[in-house]
Structures are given as C-alpha cells and as structure tokens.
Amino acid sequence: MSNWRDVIISKIKNQSSTFLFIYDFDYLLNEEIIMNYLVNNGYLVLRYDESIAFRHIYEQKIRGKEKELKLIVFSNEDISLPYEFDKKALKIKIDIQTIFPKFSANIIRRMNKEDFDDLFTVHQSYNGKPSDKETLAYIIKYHYKIPYEIIDNEAGLYKILLSIHYQKKDLPEVVRQFLYEKWKNLHAFMKLPINEMIGSPGFFYHYLEGKWKDFVIKFSTYESGQIKDPLAIEYHNPLADGDVRRMMNDLFLDGTLKKVKGIDTSNLPDWMWPGIETKEPEEELEKKLDYLNEVILNKLSHAKRYKDWITIMEYLAEYKYSASIIGKEQEDLVREVNLVFQSWMENHYHSLTSLPPFPKPKLVHHIPHVINNSRHNDEKIALIVLDGMSFFEWVSVRNYLKDNGFSFDENGIFAWVPTLTSVSRQSIFSGKVPLTFAKSIFTTASEEKLWKTFWEEQGVLKQYVTYQKGLGTETYDKTKIKGLSRKATKVFGAVVDVIDQFSHHAVLGEKSVFSQLQLWLESNYLKNLLMDLYRSGFTIYITSDHGNTKAEGIGRISEGVLVDQKGERVRIYRDRTIYDDSANQLPVIRWSNIGLPDDYHVLIAQYGQAFVPKGQDVVTHGGISIEEVIVPFVKVEAVKEVDWNDQTSRI
C-alpha cells in the first residue's frame, strides 16, 4: 500500500453491497482526503450521530433512490442502526491496528490524523516491539525529529520549541508529557516553566518576548569603551545562538514576536536589530508587508486542505492589520486569495461536515464538544462569543490583550454557511448542525435553551449553566455579568455584540470598524471581563460566529414576499421553484444546503458584491469570503507582568 488511506479505501471498494455500515471507532473515515475520494467516486457518506437526525437526512436525500446510490453510513460509537436500516446494511469494521500493525495501537490512537502520512512511512522501518514505550520513543525521534536525549541546554531547547511551534506542529498530550518527563529534572531546565513552554505556543512566545527584552536592555546598558566583555554575554545567552536568532527573526518579521521599542542600537551588534524597532514605523511595516505578501502567495499556490486555509487566514489577517495602520492598499492580495478560496469552498466545504471535532474543532458547532472534552471534573468554563469578529479584528483584540498581560492558544475554525448570526451562532450554542434547529433558524431567541440543553446532555444540570447576550455596549460592571453574579455557575456562555454593530454601522467601511474597535478596547471592558472571569476560576475561550468583509452594492433585488430572508450578501428561500428561478436570473452562487434544513435554500453574492444600492460600500457578512468564513477559536491564559527570573509569578 502506498499510503494508509489505501488500506481503508480498498476495504470499502472490495465490498459488493451498495449499503455499508462501518464501525469506525478510531475516526479513520473522518478524514478530509478519504471523504473527498469517496464522494468523488459516487458514494454518499453519512456520519451516524443519532436516529432522529439520520432519519431526517435519509428521508430528505435517500428514500426512493436506494437503487441508484452507493451509501456509506459510519459511526464512531458501538451502536446499532434502527431495524429498518440495520437489516439492509453490510457491516464492516476498520481500525488502527489494520494500518499500523507494528506500532502500539494505544499510542497511535493518541496521535493526530494529520500526521498519519509520515507515521505510515516511518512505520515501514520500525523493528521494535509494539509496546507503548518503544512506539512512542521511536515516533518522537523519527517522526517529530526531536533528539530529546541530546538536548541539555537552553539554546537547544529553544531551537526545538521554535521549530515545533513555528511550524504549528500540534504535539499530542502523550508526546508533551514524554518530553516533560525527560527534561524536567535536567539541571539547565529546573528553573524553566518547561511544561508550559512545550504545551503552549502562546506561553512560549510570551516567555521569549520577556527574555529577549531583558537581554536587549541589559546589553544596551554597556557603553562604548566600557563594555564588560559583551562577547561573553553574547556567548552565554541562548538567544544569541545563531539558529535561535534566525528562527526568531522570522517571528519578529511576521508579527508573532513583538520587537523591543525605545532602544538605541548604535552600540548593539547588527544581528540584534531584527528584534528592535530601528526604523520609522512605516518602514518597518512596509518590510513586514512585503514578507507577508510573499508568504501568503506561496501558501496560496499549495492550498488544498482546510488547515492550509486557516494558516493563510492567519497571515492575511496580520497583513490587513499592518496595511491598515499605514493606509496601504490591500485589495489586490485579498481578492486573489478569495477567488481561490471561493472555488475551494464550493468544492470542498461539504467534507468538513463529516470531520470529527477532536482534537481541534473544524466547524463552529464543534466548539462546545471540544470544550467539554477538555474540561476536568468541576472546572468552570466561560465561552465568550465576539459576534461578527473576523480574524482581522482578532489581531487588534489580541495585540491589545497581549499588551495587558494575556497570552493565547490560537486556532482557526470554519463558520457555518450562510455566515449569518441566526445560523452560525446558534450552531455554537447548540453544538449541532443547523438542520437540527430548523424551527428557530431565522432567530437567535432559542440560544439560551439550546446552550443549557447541550450541557445537560453532558451531565451539567441547568441551574449550573448561564447564558447572557448583549454585552459590551455599556460601561463594564462586574455585578451585571451573570456568570460572575450567579455563584453556582459552572458553565457560562456570553455574547459580546459590539463588533457586529460596528460593522453594520461602518460609515467609512473597514476603517470605521478598525477605529471604533480600538476605542472600545481602550475602554477596558473586555480586559476587565476576562480578568474577573479568570480570577473567579474560569477557563476562558473566545470565538466568533462569523467574520465580515468589504463589499460594493450591485443593486437591490426586488422580490417582495418571494424571498424569506434578505441579507446584504445572502438570500434565503423556502420555495425551491422560486429559488431556482432567482438563481437563474441573479449574479449569485448556488449554495449546497448540506447541514441545513431541506427547505432552506441559499443564494450567495459573488466575492466583493452585496445586494445593496449600486455603488454603495458596506462591511457585511453572510457569504463565503475567507474573512467571513474562517474565524478564531482561542483559549485565553491570563498572566501577570511576569518576572521572568521567577517563573512562579503566573496567576
């Protein structure tokens, strides 16, 4: 077999039945490339969650067409289909052991599916025992390429962690724990927050910023002619290591690490300059924009999978933020990205609906499942939904919060399409796909009920679950935050509405949103909210239901009562005939109603266009631009002004 997917696909292709029910306890079918292969080869693939939703989809898409379809239904749990379907289906099982017979199945189950390609390759050369210990040690050395036995100094540690975190390698918990146990008692690391440095990119970068600032300030105090052996300082500091410096330079350039300000560089060696603001801000930003433009175009040429687009969005948000500061035109690059992304969305978005929520969420309805899966015992949880916040606005929020002592673990996820509040935000609070709340899909009035129902299904009684919306528009008052004032609260879901309001009333387009957001952040509402939640023992997550994009009006569409919901970038129809007629007459994208109610038909405006008076510029949402669709999902970690010589000072 050339790759691990062939093992799975061949097992399916060799079956004569046209209705397969697959027991997939290891989440192998929940993989983007396999799913796309099956769909492109004529299979209709459904994930079985529970009988009501399955029956709904079966009646909508399959009933009466059984002889024409090749149907695969799979479950990640040991369940039985309802009798009517159970008697028709051929049952088969796929598992990890079939793919990696020489490795410990227990260890492979704890690896990330994205790593299976390389794991399949290194597996061919493995001649050890299928034990947990030997399998894990081999994988860390030959897959992750971490020579853990020879790392015994800070420079070596920094090089490894910079490589891991910059490449966004998501180390499984079992790998992080292995490394921690190997390194925690080494003399060189005994005073380091080694566990957090391994496990949290946000913490590690925050730590490096502090160490770098201290190093630069100390180095700059030596005057010319009175330098107390600066070469010795340079030699002994791990940040002066050549490999460490080169990797940090890229992080300074793309904005991941903050440069030190207000330092006279005349007596400093030139290798330190990339980490110090040495030019006028505009010159610094022009250099940064050129770098980001090159990175984005390179990644765009290779973008195939959903994770590729999340990475591109992260860079594009940083690009837009930096361009906005100096007023530089950014439309050409944003348009180029979006034209490719729109094509990917039309052809591949559907595959996301079959991917599992673990270890990281892919769609916004996965969020409460991931939070619940990560929750320990009676840990208190707060989910803050910044309604309408795009990744572009998140850069502003993140930078402000970082300046106030916070760090983050950041990820990107996909909103539900259409990117409307009533669709995507309800998905967040319900933990379900939109077709399951068809009766309330045009409103958000059921969010509190859906939120409490989800957590009750996870074993948290309703009296311990709190929901609140409409936050952020008033002066912050701790007593008005229900998650804080209701002492029994264990799970708090909150909606901060201000960014969505800014975008809907943006007289000067994105500039208005940018400036209003800065002013709101300076009111300290968000900072105070997060700090009070943190001090009250909550683990905090931040996300958004959808982003926003700039669009120009192509003229209002007059259909009266024929259209059931009119948005600036989307139109919703209950009647299929009217929908088809409108689709043939309007410059729109027909959107598949996968995951949506069967009488919910969606037409979406082309990129950069909106159904508003011709020539009018708006900031809006509802469509499938990358800014509307990919939003941040962030775990917040509050920290004090840290004394980096005393690593016990974290809150």
pLDDT, tens digit (0-9, with 9 covering 90-100), for 219-249? 888 655 544 555 555 667 899 999 999 999 9
Question: What is the reported pLDDT for 25?
Answer: 92
Q: Is 505 exposed, middle or buried (0-12, 13-18, 19+ CB in 10 A)?
A: exposed
Residue 611 in this model has a pLDDT that exceeds 90: yes
Lateral strand order in the sheet of 549-553: 609-610, 549-553, 617-620
Q: Indicate the DSSP class of residue 416.
A: P
Q: What does the alpha-carbon distance between residue 311 and residue 340 come to, in Å, rounded to a whole number?
A: 15
pLDDT band at 551 (very low <50, low <70, confident <90, very high): very high
The pLDDT tens digits for 431-470 are 999 999 999 999 999 999 999 999 999 999 999 999 999 9
Percent of the chain with pLDDT over 70: 95
The pLDDT tens digits for 167-180 are 888 899 999 999 99
Question: What is the reported pLDDT for 232?
Answer: 53
Contacts of range 95-102, beta carbons closer than 8 Å, 24 or more positions apart: 95/25, 95/26, 95/28, 96/26, 96/28, 98/7, 98/11, 99/4, 99/7, 99/8, 99/28, 100/4, 101/130, 102/126, 102/127, 102/128, 102/130
The pLDDT tens digits for 515-530 are 999 999 999 999 999 9
Question: What is the reported pLDDT for 648?
Answer: 38
Question: What is the reported pLDDT for 244?
Answer: 96
pLDDT band at 647 (very low <50, low <70, confident <90, very high): very low
Question: What is the reported pLDDT for 236?
Answer: 78
Question: What is the reported pLDDT for 267?
Answer: 80
Mean of per-residue pLDDT scores for the chain: 91
Highest mean pLDDT among 25-39, 299-313, 346-360: 299-313
Residue 123 in this model has a pLDDT that exceeds 90: yes
Helix (H, G, I), strand (E, B) or coil at 115: helix
Helix (H, G, I), strand (E, B) or coil at 74: strand
Question: What is the reported pLDDT for 149?
Answer: 95
Task: Give the mean model confidence (pLDDT) for residues 106-133.
Answer: 95
Helices H / strands E in the chain, number of each: 27, 17
DSSP symbols for 603-624: EEEPTTEESSSTT-EEEE-SS-
Q: For residues 425 and 599, is the Cβ–Cβ distance under 8 A?
A: no
Which tokens belong to 79? 């369940």
β-bridge pairing 380-386 and 406-414: unpaired
Residue 621 in this model has a pLDDT that exceeds 80: yes
pLDDT band at 557 (very low <50, low <70, confident <90, very high): confident
pLDDT band at 558 (very low <50, low <70, confident <90, very high): confident
Which tokens belong to 589? 């994208």
pLDDT band at 100 (very low <50, low <70, confident <90, very high): very high
Q: What does the alpha-carbon distance between residue 556 and residue 612 come to, in Å, rounded to a whole number?
A: 5
Helix (H, G, I), strand (E, B) or coil at 382: strand
The pLDDT tens digits for 399-442 are 999 989 898 999 999 999 999 999 999 999 999 999 999 999 99
Q: Which helix (H) or strand (E) holds 589?
A: strand 588-591
Residue 155 in this model has a pLDDT that exceeds 70: yes
Residue 279 in this model has a pLDDT that exceeds 90: no
Q: What does the alpha-carbon distance between residue 252 and residue 552 come to, in Å, rounded to a whole number?
A: 35
Q: Is 106 exposed, middle or buried (0-12, 13-18, 19+ CB in 10 A)?
A: middle
